[in-house]
């Protein structure tokens, strides 16, 4: 009797260039580790990829870049999906889980400038300079520190945003360091924005691989790619965001530092106009990462974070 070959593993991905670079990296790493298995990439477009003429914050963020992939997993069309972890909601549909967090690239934000401003840094851009960002988190922090600058929403994939910058529509734009580096565009990074100015998004720079909860075979494969130090940091960040009941499109920023067995999580909540900004930190054992996030969320609530977030939800999505 001939033994049957193990089934092919189907990996779900968005169609964007960055998503595919990240997914093919995961495919390659798994293929090296499990050479007897076959890993196939299946692509699909998400709502966030299709709606490009509306600010992200006004669309809503429940699965904006993930829902179609999640339906594919629940239907059995794909076995797992590769996400930029910052796009993955902190509350997942029943039957799905975060199966793996990969080693993090630099999670910082980057300033990319038009050639007319190559001699400038963020703090020396002239008054009224037009800075593009689609992130309320970046917007709120930059308005807080640089109220003299003018900010304008920018949508589209990374290449589209760079084209808009180079054409003169913007004087500068803010992008993630990780995305630029993964696409081989690290030379476009004009300045890495320090965390004192802009705390990064929850999970930024890491990949999150989502899978079914009842599929131990897939989960065992994915665990081979888990990077524990990154996982500790990201679990703390995600529990902080979840406890504050904030989505991906709200002005909540974080920074995590792992020092031996101890993890320090710094969090920020700001009003969209940048007038109010609350920041605090909690340190604890890395193995208690989720508890650290919850503790920090409670500290921030005591300082007024709830009121800020309620006001933002009323402003951004008044129909909600």
Residues known to be catalytic: 87
How far apart are the C-alpha atoms of 74 and 301, rounded to whole Å?
35
Q: Are strands 262-270 and 277-285 parallel, antiparallel or unpaired?
A: antiparallel
What is the spatial distance between Cα 218 and Cα 204, in angstroms, rounded to a whole number? 24
Between CA 249 and CA 255 the distance in angstroms is: 17
Dig out the tokens for 242 from the structure. 């979840």
Residue 277 has phi, psi (to 5 degrees) of -145, 120
Residue 285's beta-bridge partner residues?
262
Question: 51 near 61, Cβ under 8 Å?
Answer: no
CA–CA separation, 99 and 178 (whole Å) = 21
Convert 282-309 to b/e letters by CB count within 10 Å (16 or more is b): bebebebbbebbbbbbeebbeeebeebb
| Calculated CA dihedral for residues 191, 197, 201, 207, nearest 10 degrees | 40
């Amino acid at each position: 009797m001939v033994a049957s070959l193990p089934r092919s593993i189907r990996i779900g991905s968005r169609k964007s260039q960055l998503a595919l670079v990240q997914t093919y990296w995961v495919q390659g790493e798994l293929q090296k580790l499990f050479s007897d298995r076959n890993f196939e990439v299946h692509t699909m477009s998400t709502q966030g990829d299709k709606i490009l003429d509306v600010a992200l914050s006004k669309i809503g963020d429940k699965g904006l870049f993930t829902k179609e992939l999640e339906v594919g997993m629940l239907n059995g069309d794909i076995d797992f999906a590769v996400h930029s972890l910052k796009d993955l909601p902190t509350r997942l549909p029943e039957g799905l889980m975060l199966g793996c967090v990969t080693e993090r690239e630099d999670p910082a934000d980057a300033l990319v400038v038009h050639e007319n401003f190559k001699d400038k840094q963020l703090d020396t851009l002239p008054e009224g300079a037009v800075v593009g960002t689609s992130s309320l988190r970046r917007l709120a922090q930059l308005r807080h520190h640089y109220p003299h600058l003018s900010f304008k929403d920018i949508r589209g994939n990374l290449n589209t945003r760079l084209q808009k910058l180079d054409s003169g529509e913007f004087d500068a734009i803010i992008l993630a360091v990780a995305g630029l580096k993964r696409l081989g565009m690290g030379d476009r990074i004009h300045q890495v924005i320090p965390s004192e100015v802009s705390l990064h998004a929850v999970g930024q720079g890491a990949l999150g691989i989502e899978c079914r909860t009842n599929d131990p075979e897939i989960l065992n494969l994915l665990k081979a790619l888990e990077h524990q130090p990154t996982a500790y940091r990201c679990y703390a960040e995600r529990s902080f965001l979840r406890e504050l009941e904030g989505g991906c499109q709200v002005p909540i920023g974080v920074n995590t530092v792992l020092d031996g067995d101890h993890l320090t999580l710094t969090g920020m909540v700001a009003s969209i106009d940048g007038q109010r900004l609350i920041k605090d930190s909690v340190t604890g054992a890395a193995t208690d990462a989720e508890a650290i996030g919850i503790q920090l969320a409670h500290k921030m609530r005591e300082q007024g974070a709830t009121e800020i977030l309620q006001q933002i939800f009323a402003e951004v999505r008044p129909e909600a």
